[in-house]
A and B are shown apart, each in its own frame.
Chain A
């Protein structure tokens, strides 16, 4: 079928555009670029508006008629949110939970993906069905029993109480993406290694994983974003204010200690801070992300 490698490069594609006259093409070009700009604005506008708002001081935000540009430029909102203990903790907690979940999920998922890609074993279809089912799972169906389970295991307010569900629910993405990547590696490399005397696992470790490194990397980014954005479990399982993750902290930003008003300035500033890592990840690794997402989906 298809090779993700082909999709990862941005080579020119066969254009379907009719080869019209130069002038027609020019107009079309203008229209096209107008559309492209419009589309980019559509995607980025709410985010940009949030960014602009975050730089406004308390009087400027509530000015009517609305002042679009943040003049005077004010960093007070950022200063205020970073003075909040629970916000700083929220960022730290998000990093801990998301990166741990990503790492664990990668380990578990990659070996499972290899098994699916290369090996025949009993219950394989059951496993695939299970993985599919997990991707469809509504989290609300298990928060109650899972909460009780975690408390019984003594994991109250423990990071593991968030890490484990995140691992579970990111496994499908991990397995699908990595299975696609592993499948597309030429089998000859492994076979020749095994002819040379490596066991399956040695071949996996020495050949498959390094070659699939881009795929692993892509999967890592996808998993991280998914875990970072998780809300339902984070909200339910943690009661210590300094254990909340960033998503919960921002949902609960109403009435921050500092200003007893609906603190739009701080909410927007917090939104930007929480989103910035993701946006940066996305901007830097967009090619990988796109190929990873589409490899999983198109093959699925």
Chain B
């Protein structure tokens, strides 16, 4: 055996290098043969021409011989690969329907994977664009405990922390501070809001970037306390608003309360470390802070508003740097506690620093997004597998149809390995074309996905080198999976029998096809179960009673933008807004508010006689509102009453509590008339006058979250100019009229913003909606593919067994028996797949749990429905070809070529 191998290799190598010479030699050899043959004929007396003609006739096609001999020589790999390619392309062109079908199927599968990979990559793996040395760049988090001793992780800090850390740590090369805020740019009628990143000068050093125009600001312009009023524009903003002109350096731009000078433009696609998309501008953090809070901000302990980055010295380990960070935090907090002793004891706070990776999805603040995206990538992979199974089945049928062609080639000296290689080439070509189509699909689909899903997506395209690499990998795997089974099966079985046998020498029973089908059914079941669970979960989320109505409510807020109203002015502005809003046609109710669900909330101290340390029991969210507060939001009052005109300033202080708060503080008792001291334990008793339906204001299911409500008139602080408005009819139509009327009330540079409440609440549903949509889409696709697979397999089977079935019918077997035979074989396979799929889903259920909302992953109803759907589809997919089978004319069936 080894000898033979060596000899083969030697031969081929020689053939490779002496190709021309070998051709020549073959020519010589064959012409010698023909000469001798012609001589033989001439010896019997015929003319030379006749002799030559006979010789050639006896020989057969010379060229064909040459080709086959060449083949048998085992010519160079490259030559034969090129041949394979030509042959494959030719074959594909001859069958456009087949080719299109395969390419489309594979394209969908590969495209979906490419798009999802792009997203998962961005969320979990790829460091932010341009980040230098990702291993030493960290996001700073601080662990601690809330007042009620719950652990929590923060990434927003006071400016003094930033200063302290820089001063007292030794393990870091630099720190950066930044925050992204939506601020008003421009002035007058040109005012528009955009995301602005406020960043220290050191921020830009974290990235390997050069400005597209001008320069970035340096430490001199970022000095404490005032900084310099300079701005670096974002690239997109520069293109959109300034037409990409290069003469903008030195121009002024109003941002929030200040006027800033443009000194440069950031490079295209630069996002930085933020997670809110590409900013419109970058401003020194000191300049912003100074304008917003005055020169005292570096000393403030309470204004925790900015995030921090740290560049660790490479020679220091993460553990050591973490320790250094922790001691620095403790030292800094010691000062804070010294200045605010009523905040508690330092030892109780459990303060600890953490250096996390730059990607938010990899740190302590990882949201649900990354998890869902990963799951959807897994789903896409499953769909690709199903598509591959289908295509593999198609290849198998084709291979069987071509078995005579194969047998002939094998008889003529082509080895099985070569034939197998040619089949794999065909599947590779199809997979490549499918991959190209898939990338196109990914581009389209990605745009839609981005809009629905990724705030953080930079404007760069989803299709980039890493995704391309991943796609190439997917293509290889696809080609292998689809081509391997028919390739392995070539040449098996009795060749000669095949060559001379008829078209139907008995049913072609390949074990691979039924297995593929079971495989497809299993995967489809798993996907559909996932889809069902998500759909139900989403419906739970949607139907979840938030405690208030979202759809008909608008939220209007005034942005003072530097204008500092006095308390009296602020109060009158708020009230004017309220009155004006009420008078607009279409507005049902309006109320003042100081908090917005899921967006902002306030808290304050609470003391209840008889209860020791109320604030330990949970998070008490504090709200104030006008008498129409509950009517505006559609919240029911369960007991007692809401506030009304009686509850004015100076009258007896009252409050309304949420039903869960009532139950928590006074279990089993009537909450009405109970006394609560708000703000200080020496405050007068506020009396509970009503219990309201539970309102979910910060999280959907927070256990220790409670809310209570105080009339704005009785709240000591002046109301902020923010209102809720409840409208009849389509809220979108009232946004502009409301804004116009309210804007008239705005003093100075202030401007008003009106948004539907749904815009603020819905984002929390996003992850669920996305997961559901994807699962349902993919599950449906998987089901379609499996149905097609089943149909084609059974139809094929029927064709194979035509004669046998015809015989059965001729012999008197009833049509329904034959039908039953075919359908039952298909059902058996799908049934096996269903059982396997259910088992697989049960086993994987535990990982799904975190993604579902009030839904058990082992819901028997869903499992049952999915199994039923699949079996139904199986019956339909089997019955259609089976019906055709019963119409076989027995005579013609038996007469088929044998």
A and B assemble together? no
Residues of B that sit less than 8 Å from A by CB: none
Residues of A that sit less than 8 Å from B by CB: none
